[in-house]
A and B are shown apart, each in its own frame.
Chain A
Amino acid sequence: DQQVKQNSPSLSVQEGRISILNCDYTNSMFDYFLWYKKYPAEGPTFLISISSIKDKNEDGRFTVFLNKSAKHLSLHIVPSQPGDSAVYFCAAIPYNTDKLIFGTGTRLQVFP
């Protein structure tokens, strides 16, 4: 049973445009959400996070939006750059645990 879902396995965006990566979750006990970026043959690197008490967090070109009522999370990258091409994982932490529950990932390709 996949508690964190990324329904788009891949996304292709032109350089300079906005990339929107989506994530849905089913467990209302999640209280912290993270996005990780992963290049081939490397470990995931932390990108941005958001607490369940917020609905938006921004860091440079990256913004994460949280809609708790819809149990939906999205990552916006603007403007997209070729170096953003990677697999993006969303992850959630249930209340009162240290465990991360990962989605299946979305492969983003930014083309010139």
Chain B
Amino acid sequence: DVKVTQSSRYLVKRTGEKVFLECVQDMDHENMFWYRQDPGLGLRLIYFSYDVKMKEKGDIPEGYSVSREKKERFSLILESASTNQTSMYLCASSLGTSTQYFGPGTRLLVL
């Protein structure tokens, strides 16, 4: 079974703080993705990565950065958290052009 884990299920941060969200997959998948889910907007792609040290902007990359130093780990960084980044963050991985498998999500609240 594919397993995608995210470091935190719930997180509360203050405006201006730097926030790290970690994602790890155990299936040797090449591709990893970060999404955010907001009511009425579905899932929107923030960043994705096809390989170690490679990253591509998704549809809403502003205010975020990512790091992929190892194949199994993909980190999302909020350089200076803002209240409009309060959301559910979902990580996914896939092998080539195939089904994406999602982690359980991190619900982030920025005060």
- A-side residues, CB < 8 A to B, are 6, 9, 32, 34, 36, 41-46, 49, 89, 91, 93, 97-100, 102-105
Of all chain A residues, the one with the shortest Cβ separation from B101 is A46
The reply to whether B4 and A43 form a contact with Cβ atoms under 8 Å apart is yes
With A98-B31, A98-B50, A98-B94 as known contacts, state yes or no: A104 contacts B40, CB within 8 Å.
Answer: yes
Other than the known A41-B9, A44-B102, what 12 A-B pairs have Cβ atoms closer than 8 Å? A32-B97, A43-B91, A45-B102, A49-B99, A97-B97, A98-B96, A99-B45, A102-B35, A102-B42, A104-B40, A104-B42, A105-B42
Of all chain A residues, the one with the shortest Cβ separation from B50 is A98
With A43-B103, A43-B104 as known contacts, state yes or no: A9 contacts B43, CB within 8 Å.
Answer: no
Q: How far is the CA of A103 from the CA of B94 in the complex (A)?
A: 19
Inter-chain contact count A-B, CB under 8 Å?
54
Q: Does B73 contact A (CB under 8 A)?
A: no
Most buried by A among B9, B31, B43, B99: B43
Q: Does B34 contact A (CB under 8 A)?
A: no
Closest chain A CB from B58 CB (angstroms): 8
Q: How far is the CA of A79 from the CA of B41 in the complex (A)?
A: 29
| CB-contact partner of A41 in B33, B43, B105, under 8 A | B105
